[in-house]
Homo-oligomer: A and B are copies of this chain.
C-alpha cells in the first residue's frame, strides 16, 4: 500500500535505494562519463592533491614558515577523492588506484591522534585551535567527508581500514559534542557531518552515530547562539572573518548564510550558502526517514516547495548569487552571473534522492533527472579534467572550466556522484521496484527477499524508447513502478507486447504495474521526445520575454561555435520548427536541435548608437542548439540557454 498523502507515512520511508554497486551502467550518456571519471578525472585529481601539497599535509610535517601552508579544509578534498575512488574501484578493479588509496589511508591512520581526532590542518598548523572555530573552521565538515569516505571504502572493498579510523573519530566527536554536562553544544558552520553520520549508522548499525547526527541537526540555530558564544574572548580572527567582511555578510544574513538563523524545524525558506543548505536538508530527510520524524519531513517539504517555486534554475542549478554562494531572493535567477555552484547541484541530487525514498513521489525523481542531466553533467569537461565551479546559463565568451581550484570542492563532488550513480536509478520497497531513471545497464536487486534482475536497453536521453527485461528465478508478485517523467506527454507502454494504458495506472508520477512477474518479461516504454519550448514565470526578471528549449530531460543552449552571431540579438519565432537529430560526430555524439531564428540587421544602423522611432529590421538566421550538458567543450565563445522569444512572429 502506498501512502499518497503529502505528510510522512507512518513507519518510515516508502522505499530504499539499492547499493550503488547493484547497478552496472551500459548507458550512452552515463557510462562514458563514469569511465571518464575513473580513467581521467580521478588520476588528475590525485596529481592535483599531490602537487598542491594536500597529500603531504597528511604527514603532519608542516612547520611555521614552510610552504605551502595547508588550507583548513584540504582533508575534505582527500576524503572525496577517496570516496570517488572507492566507487570507481568497485565498478572496475584497478591495482594502481588501490595502491594510491592504501597509501593515503595509511597516512590518515598515522595522522589520527591517540584520542581519535583526525584533522591535518589543525594538528599541524593550529594545534591549540581544536573545536574553537566551528562557524568557519570546517573541522566537522572535514570529519563528515572522511566518514563518507570510510563508509564508501568499506562498501566498495569490504575492508575496514578507513572505516575503523572514522568510527574512532566519530566516537571521539560524540564524546566532545552533545547536550550532556561538559560537552560542547556546538555544530558545524558547514553542514556535512550530519548526513555522513547517518551513512555511518547505516554501514555499522551503531545507533549512536544516528543520535549524534540528530543532535547536530536539532542543535542548529538554537539560542543561546553557539557561534556568538564561541567568539567570546577570542583574540584572533575566525577563518572566514575577512571573507565575510569582503562580502558584507554579517548579522542576520550571516546566520542565514549557514542556516543557523532558526532551529531547522522552524525554517521555511531556502536561504544562504546553497551547498550548506542542500547538505543540511539532506541530513534532515535522512533523519526523518530513520526516526519517523514527521516534523522534520514537513520542514523538508516546506523548504522543497519554496525552492522549486522560486529559486531553481531550469537546468537544476541552485544558489544564484556569488555574493553568498547561495540563495539571493525569490525569482532572482541571473543567467550570465549565475553562481549555481556545482556542489550545490550535487547536493540537490542528494536531497532529492532522500526525499524520493521517503515519499515515493516522482517529483523528486524528476528533479534528480533534471539536475543530473543538466547542472551536474555540464560541470565536467569532455576530457574529464576541467570543471565549472559556477555554472552560468549565459556567457559572453569568458566562462571556462578550470583544471583545479584553491577551494577544490567541486571536482571530487562530481566524481563521487558520477561514480555512485547506480544507486539513483531504482528504489526497492517491500513489495515494489521503482524505476526512477532511464539509465541503460544491468541491475541486481532484491524485492521482498527475491532476487530481481533488471536490464535497461535504450539510447536515452537521445531517444525515448525504453526496453526493460526482467530476470527472475521464478514467478514473483510485486509492483513494478515506472516513472513517467514530468516533461513527457503521450507515453505508451507494452508488457510482453500487450499495450497497457498509462493513464489508468498512474499514481504520483509512476505507472504502477502490479502483477506476477516472470523471468523474460519484457516492457517497452515509449516516451515521445519532441523539442519543447519552456517559459519562465514572469516574476523571473532575467527570463522575461525569453524561451528555453528542452527535449526529454535535456535543456539546450545556443553556442557561438554553431551560431556565429551576437547571441543576445537572436530571437526565436513561436512558429519556428524545432528539428532534433542525433549527430554522432558532434561532441562525442549528441542530439542537436536545428531551427530558424531572427537577428537584427545591423547594416542599416550606420554606426549609430541610438535612433528614434525606427523599428529594428530583422533577418533570418539558421540556429543550432546543443545540450547544455556538453556546452563549453569547443572554442571559447558565447552561450545562451534563454533565447529571446519573438512572441508574434
Residues of A within 8 A of B (CB): 308-310, 312, 314, 396, 487, 532-541, 544-545, 548, 550, 566, 568-569, 571, 574, 599-600, 602, 605, 607-616, 644, 646-649
Contacts and interface: CB of A to CB of B under 8 A. Distances in A.
B613 A538 contact: no
B566 A545 contact: no
Query: How many chain copies?
Result: 2
B615 A574 contact: yes
Contacts of A540: 609
B648 A612 contact: no
Nearest to A555: B610
Nearest to A601: B538
Contact of A487 (B533, B612, B644): B612
Given A312-B609, A568-B541, A609-B309, A535 B614 contact: yes
| 9 nearest CB pairs, A to B | A538-B600, A648-B648, A541-B568, A532-B612, A533-B613, A538-B569, A309-B607, A537-B609, A532-B613
Contacts of A535: 610-616
Given A535-B611, A647-B648, 5 more contacts: A396-B541, A536-B610, A537-B608, A541-B566, A544-B568
15 contacts: A309-B608, A310-B609, A312-B609, A396-B541, A532-B612, A533-B612, A534-B612, A535-B614, A535-B616, A537-B602, A538-B599, A538-B605, A544-B568, A548-B610, A550-B612
Nearest to A568: B541
A605 B615 CA distance: 31
Contacts of A571: 545
A644 B610 contact: no
A602 B544 CA distance: 12
Contacts of A533: 612-613
A314 B608 CA distance: 12
A611 B538 contact: no
A329 to B, nearest CB: 9
A615 B309 contact: no
A308 B609 contact: yes
Nearest to A648: B648
A610 B545 contact: no
A308 to B, nearest CB: 6
Nearest to A646: B647
Nearest to A312: B609
A280 to B, nearest CB: 22
A547 B600 CA distance: 14
B644 A544 contact: yes
A110 B162 CA distance: 77
A371 B429 CA distance: 70
Contact of A538 (B309, B574, B602, B612): B602
A539 B548 CA distance: 22
A540 B602 CA distance: 11
Contacts of A613: 532-535
A169 to B, nearest CB: 39
A538 B537 CA distance: 26
A180 B640 CA distance: 58
Most interface-central of A308, A396, A566, A612 (chain B CB within 10 A):
A612
A49 to B, nearest CB: 28
Nearest to A337: B337
A16 to B, nearest CB: 30
A548 B610 CA distance: 10
Nearest to A614: B535
Nearest to A330: B609
Contacts of A646: 647
A406 to B, nearest CB: 15
A534 B569 CA distance: 17
A540 B600 CA distance: 11
Contacts of A541: 396, 566, 568
A574 B532 CA distance: 29
Nearest to A649: B648
Among A544, A550, A607, max chain B CB count under 10 A is at: A544
Contacts of A538: 566, 569, 599-600, 602, 605, 616
A624 to B, nearest CB: 21
Contacts of A614: 535
Given A312-B609, A610-B535, A544 B615 contact: no
A613 B547 CA distance: 9
A255 B429 CA distance: 67
Contact of A615 (B314, B396, B611, B647): B647
Nearest to A638: B541
A612 B551 CA distance: 11
Contacts of A544: 568-569, 600, 644
A246 to B, nearest CB: 8
B647 A536 contact: no
A605 B537 contact: yes
B537 A644 contact: no
Contacts of A600: 538, 544
A533 B611 CA distance: 8
A534 B610 contact: yes
Contacts of A312: 609
A488 to B, nearest CB: 10
Nearest to A305: B607
A539 B565 CA distance: 10
A75 to B, nearest CB: 30
A545 B546 CA distance: 11
A646 B648 CA distance: 9
A568 B568 CA distance: 17
A193 to B, nearest CB: 32
A541 to B, nearest CB: 4
Contacts of A649: 647-648
Nearest to A246: B246
